[in-house]
Structures are given as structure tokens and as C-alpha cells.
Structure 1
Amino acid sequence: MKALLLSAYAADSHRYWARGLMAHLDAIDWTLIELAPRHFQWRVRGNPLSFMSEHDATLSQSFDLIVATSLVDLATLIGLYPHLGRAFRVVYFHENQFAYPLGEQQTRRLEPLMVNLYSALAADRVLFNSQWNRDSFFNGVDAFLKKMPERVAPLRLEALKTHSEILPVPLWPLEKTPSFDRKTPSRIVWNHRWEYDKNPEDFFAAFETLSGSGIEFELVVMGQVFRHRPEVFDQARSRLARHITCWGHQTRERYLEELGKGGIVVSTAWHEFQGLAVMEAVQHGCIPLVPERLCFPEYYASPYRYDGSRDALVERLEQWLTSPEARPAPPDISAWTWPQMSRRYQSRLQRPV
């Protein structure tokens, strides 16, 4: 089977998924086209032009399967290359723009919403990485259509729900099982994108409070860093300098090494549809501490969740740092790896008989 894999905004998690797909479904003859993760508004509306400008010869070929991320304007691309409409078309939602939290001085733009919707409608099958992602997408679409000047209720939207499924991004298997006998139980990991939607303010404020209380801990702050980042990162680096053992974007090797030495991985996110960064840390032996919102209740039992408030985060961290025996063991996430999930992916990428 000849397949075209399209990624319009190839952030780290999207690249991780795409390379896992090609490596673990290697019976498929893959062709990958991806665009760098920058200039988001231009990318989301202009990606058909970028694809056409840089990859016209490839797009002019015939494929049996097209797998596209949800930021690919698949409907427009098929309009430009009608023969692609004959392929079995799958759109994968790492996230959806209907549930994306707005930062300060941001307004909700229509273009990303429409691209998500049109791409889903142009697909034969739609895959979401969590139930939260799927539900917030369809709820967002419903609310969005009610705002349109003329009443719009496309019949295909109901059909779309019937051929949408939940299929998380799998983890690459580890060569060596990590040890859970931590020599550094007080080492805390932040390994998320350095953006406002990950709520770094609550994370760093919690540790400033703990530091002021004389509680000892180490901080490993990694993740994808962009040209523009929240000011709180630079402020925290100064205020928490004596606790920091690793800071900034790392090579893949160093990143995995630091995860393997971590004790607790924390999320304070306002926006998370699967939380791949937390999953990777848990895979390497870290204990997750995540808020009671978004996708997290789907993946982690109550001992690993706090109510989402800053006070509750401080309280749980203080307990875990001063009484390590009170912490639960890392959860078993073996079911989330490629060896366990590859057959599910294989079946979902095939045209129904």
C-alpha cells in the first residue's frame, strides 16, 4: 500500500507520532511531507500553497492512503489535486482548535476552526488521541455552527461522528526497563512546550512557595522552546537557580537521560489533549502529578491527580517531597506502546471492506 503522510505544523509531538507510524507500520510504503512549526496562522491557512509550491511532483502521484494531521487543509488540497480524493483519507487530531485556550490579547480566529472542520469532513475516517479531544471538537463544532448567520446543520456531521475513533499516540518501546528505586526522589521534571497554554505560572509559583518553606527539591526544566516564550521562565530561572539542575531544550539523548533520572513529572496545563510529555516521563519511571481536567482523568487514576488549583498542587508536592513513602508507584503504561497498539493502527488505516 502506497501512503502519503502530511503534517502541516510538525511540532515535536507530531514528528514523534509520524516517525513512529512509519517505523512500526513499515509494510506500508510511506511518503512523508511536513512543514516546520512556525508562523502558525500562515501555516494553518496557507499549507496547501506551501505543499503545492514545494512538493508538486509528489502530490501529483497516486496514493492508496492519505494520513493527514488536523491542521492540514485536506479539503483544499484535494481541490488542487482531485486525484487524491480517490485515496482512503484519514485525519488525525493531535489537538483541535475549538478547545485551544486563548492567551492574553488573543481573539478566536475563524480560519483554524474552519480548517479543522473541513478537513474532518473531507476524511473517510477521523482519529482522536483522547475522548476529551473528540468531545471538545464536536461540542465546539456544534456551538460554532449555531453562530453562523444562516442556520447550518450539515448531515455529514452526524456521519462524521460514526466514523471517528479514539486512538492515542503510542510510545516508542524502551530498550531497557527503567528502575523505580530512585536515588533522587525529589527531582521534579517539567518537559512541556514553553508556552502559555501549559500554565508555567502555576508550576513555578508552586515551587517558589515550596522553596520559601525550606523544602528541598531539584528542578529539571526541558521541552520545546520557541523564539517568544512567557516571561515567567526567565524570572523563575533567577528565583529558583539553586534548585535547577537542567534547563532548556536538550538533545533527544540528553532529554531521555534526564527523564530516566527524574522523580516526579508535573503538569499544570490549561491545554492538553493527550499529554505525551507526561507519558514519556512516566515511561521512564517518573510519577505523574496532573490536574483534574482535560484528558488526564482518562489516563491517570485519582492518586496521580490534584484538583487543578495552585494550593492543591503545593499541598500534594509538599506531601510527596517530605514523605516519599506516601507517593504511589508509577502507573503501568505498557498498553500505550507501539508493540501493543500497532495492530489497531493497521486496522484503522485500511479502507473498510
Structure 2
Amino acid sequence: MSLRLLALDAYHGGSHRALLRGWQQRSRHAFTVLTLPGRRWKWRMRHAAITFADALRERVAAGERWDALWCTDMLSLAECVGLSPAPVQRLPRIAYFHENQLTFPPRPGEAHDPRDLHFAFTNLTTCLAADEVWWNSAYNRDAFLEALAALLARMPDHAPRDAVARVRARSRVAPPGIDAPRRHGPRPPGPLRILWPHRWEHDKGPALLFAALAELAARGVDFRVSVVGQRFREAPVEFARARLELGDRIDRWGHLPRVDYEAALLDADVVLSTARHEFFGIAVLEAVAAGCLPLVPRALAYPETLGDDPRWFHDGTAVGIADRLTALADARARGPLAAGPEREAIAAAHAWPARARAMDDAVAALLASPAPLGQV
């Protein structure tokens, strides 16, 4: 059965845009998509409800109707529903959480926690206004609910003590799909090629990355590295210094167009994460699907998405990471690094056809359930 789905994406960029496009392209449902540019996220969380409600009022007046509403965590869903016309208010509602505003780590050296708890409460009211809350990982869900319980315990009075249980009861894990090129045959001979495909921000652990690479270079290990991913106006100082120190060991540096990014995935032997914070880790999964061996922390969402193979986890220290990379470089010198069946299974489980079908089915199941909130 094909349904009419209204999708509201208040921060249409990066992984948010990739998920919605990937799902829409493969979905059996018909989408009406309203978006706002993926920048200035704090302003988006404040004004998107008004902006979308105004647009929906015009569309409803023109005769448009839908069967369900889907939005992301960057929208204040409760405000949007309250400001929207009655046909929108009656829709069953799904909120998708790519991230949450309670568990971002503070920047190194900050004297206080800079998080604006008003945005955390917006996340909470969005959860409570939704019939279902979809999380990209169980890690994201559990981290949010644990932090939410601690936040509510700080309230001086009238704390909604049952809020954690209410959100948990309507939660489901719905990982995004991945698009990645497939490697056909082994990579040509050469040194170990390392890929670090993350945002250039402190929570992705650039200091640990470059300390590990410096240790590797000091040992005389032959390697090349591609440091790619989204870069913002201000990047941690480690990047400029490391670019000089790594010199001709660098294959690629900085954000790449998609076709060049896929080439980097296919060239690499190992995808490395030094993240201190990661709600899902789609870049690592894309690299694994393209044929890379993962080397990641045994933390965050990685055990959930990659399984428990001890070969794929490092100990979080520069020396420990360098030890693992040294062993892989030695193995690479003897021949191509084998792509095992476990990685094929990971790629298949997260491929978009399977994920889109699961998400389509979840929407249909919600509409078939008795009395969603929007229909009460």
C-alpha cells in the first residue's frame, strides 16, 4: 500500500539530507518534502515550526492532504502541530532523531557546559508530540534517555517523572541506509592507505588521530592517509599543523565532491575513527561497504553497527592505534588485506533497499495501529 507522507526536514544538509533522499528514492510511499537549508541549526530549531506551519496552511487551503507526518529532531514538532491547520494536526506523527541536544560533549578547555537546555526540552516535547520516535541507533536513544532522566531530576518542581518511560515506549531504532561503491578485486600494490572521513571538529578526536599518525611515522612505517570530511569555517588547530608534518604521506585532504569521496573509499585499506562522540557513524559504514577494514573505538554506536569482532577495535590511545596500524601495514606489504564475509553482511544489512523497505513498513504499521495521537 502506498501512503502519502509529509516530510519536514528543518536542517536539510549532510546526513539529514542523505537519509531523506535515500529513503524517498526507494520508497513505495509518495512524499511531499518541505526543507530548510542545513545551516544555523539553533535558528532552525527556533523558527522552523512557524515557517513550516505557514507553508502547510497554504498547501491545505489548496487541497493537499497526507496520511502521516515525518520530521527530524531539528523541528519543534509540538509547536509546529499547534500552529498548523486541523488536517495536519490529525496526522499520525513520526520524529526521527539523527542526534540529540543533551549529549554533545563540551569543547576542550571550556570552563562550563555550553549546552542550551532549552533545545534539550525542545527534543523532549518533540518526542512527546510524536506517535513514534525513530532513532538512528540504540546508542543515541539510550544516551538521550539517560541524560533526560538526569535533567528532569534537576527540575525544582513539576518534573514530568514519567517522560522517560513515555519516550522509551514509543521509540524504535531505524538506522539510515548507506550508499557506497563496491570494490571489484584487490587494490593495486602499495603502502597501507588510511582513511579518516569525519567532520573536522573536536568531538571526532583529531588530536588522537594525528598523535597516532606521528607515532606511525616515527616508526618508519610506510603509509598514506586521506583526511576528508566536512570542514567548517573554524577547524581545530591540529589540522593545519598535521598537514605540514605529514607532507607527502597525504593522499587527500579536506572535503571532497561525492565522486572523489567514493574514489577515496575505494583506494583505502583501513577506515579509522578516533571519535569521542558519534550518534551513528555512517561514514565508517560506507567505507566498510566499499571494502575497508574498520579500526574504531569499542564505544559509541560502533559495537552496535559493526558487531564484536576484536580486530576492528582499538584501545583509544595513540600508541595502541599505531600498534594496530603497524600490524596492518606489515600485512599489507605481504598482499591485499582480505575482505571477509562479516563486512559483506554489514554492507547488506545497511544497504538502502533493505532499510527503505523497513521504514516504509514501519509507517504502514503505525497507521494500522489503534488510535495514534494525531487521530485521537
**Matches of 1:3 and 1:340, distance apart in 2:** 19
**Could you tell me which amino acid in structure 1 is paired with residue 175 of structure 2?**
P
Shift of the 28–37 alpha-carbon distance from structure 1 to 2, 3 Å rule, reads same
Cα distance in structure 1, aligned partners of 2:119 and 2:186: 42
RCO (CA 8 Å, sep 6+): is it higher in 1 or 2? 2
- Structure-2-length-normalised TM-score: 0.87
231, 237, 244: which one aligns with 1:231? 237
Which of 108, 126, 134 is the matching residue for 1:119?
126
Correspondence for 2:150: 143
Is the 1:290–1:296 contact (alpha carbons within 8 Å) kept by the matching residues of 2?
Answer: yes
Q: Which moved more, 1:209-218 or 1:262-271?
A: 209-218
Residue identity matched to 2:227: V
Structure 2 residue 67 is matched with structure 1 residue 64? yes
The gaps in structure 2 that reach 5 residues or longer are 370-376
Percent of aligned pairs with the same amino acid: 34
Counterpart in 2 of 1:96? 100
Q: Spell out, residue by residue over 1:158-189, the C-alpha distance to the aligned partner (whole angstroms, 9 max, x if none).
A: 23312211111111365x55434553451111
Q: Secondary structure at the match of 1:315?
A: helix
Q: CA deviation digits over 1:80-115, x for unaligned, max 9? A: 114222111111111122221111435121122112
Query: Which deviates more from structure 2 when the two are superposed, residues 64-73 or residues 330-339?
Result: 330-339
Say whether 1:241 aligns with 2:247.
yes
1:322 aligns with 2:330: yes
Distance in 1 (alpha carbons) for counterparts of 2:304 and 2:33: 31
Matched, 1:284 2:290: yes
Q: Structure 1 residues 114, 284: closer, same or farther in 2, change over 3 A?
A: same
- Is this contact kept in 2: 1:48–1:76, CA < 8 A? yes
How far apart, CA to CA, are the structure 2 residues paired with 1:133 and 1:226? 24
Q: Report the CA distance between 1:128 and its aligned residue.
A: 1.0
Alignment check: 8 A CA contact 1:184 1:263 kept: no
Say how many residue pairs are matched. 351
Q: Which amino acid letter does the alignment assign opposite residue 293 of structure 1?
A: A
Task: Report 1:63-212 matches (<5 A).
Answer: 63-83=66-86, 84-104=88-108, 105=110, 107-155=114-162, 157-172=164-179, 174=181, 176-181=182-187, 183-184=189-190, 186-212=192-218
Residue 35 of structure 1 aligns to a residue in which SS? strand
- Kindly tell me: are residues 44 and 337 of structure 1, through their superposed partners in 2, closer, same or farther at Cα, counting changes over 3 Å? same
Distance in 2 of aligned mates of 1:184 and 1:49: 55
TM-score normalised by length of structure 1: 0.92
1:347 alignment counterpart: 361
User: What SS does structure 1 have at the residue aligned with 2:12?
Assistant: coil
What does 1:213-232 align with in structure 2 at a 5 Å threshold? Answer: 213-232=219-238
- Verify the 8 A CA contact 2:206 2:239 in the aligned structure 1: yes
Aligned partners of 2:54, 2:295: CA distance in 1, in Å?
A: 45
- Tell me whether 127-136 or 45-54 shows the greater mean CA deviation: 45-54
Contact 1:5 1:32 in 2 (8 A): yes
Distance (Å, rounded) in 2 between the aligned partners of 1:136 and 1:56: 36
Shifted more, 200-209 versus 326-335: the winner is 326-335
Deviations 1:283-332 (A, max 9, x none): 11111100011111112222101122222212211221123369674522
Select 2:13's aligned residue among 11, 19, 25. Answer: 11
State the secondary structure of the residue aligned to 2:37.
Answer: coil
> CA–CA distance in 2 between the matches of 1:91 and 1:184?
46
Code of the residue aligned with 1:167 in structure 2: it is A
Deviation larger for 326-335 or 257-266 = 326-335
Go from structure 1 to structure 2 and tell me whether the alpha carbon gap of 1:241 and 1:349 turns closer, same or farther (over 3 Å shift): same
In 2 relative to 1, CA 117–59 (structure 1 residues): closer, same or farther, beyond 3 Å? farther
Partners of 2:205 and 2:276 within 8 A in 1: yes
1:275 equivalent to 2:281? Answer: yes
Contact 1:185 1:262 in 2 (8 A): no
Closer/same/farther in 2, CA of residues 304 and 58 from structure 1, 3 Å limit: farther
Cα distance in 1 for partners of 2:44, 2:106 equals 18
CA RMSD of superposed structures (Å): 2.2
Compute the displacement of 1:79 (Å): 1.3
Q: Which residue does 1:310 correspond to in 2?
A: 318
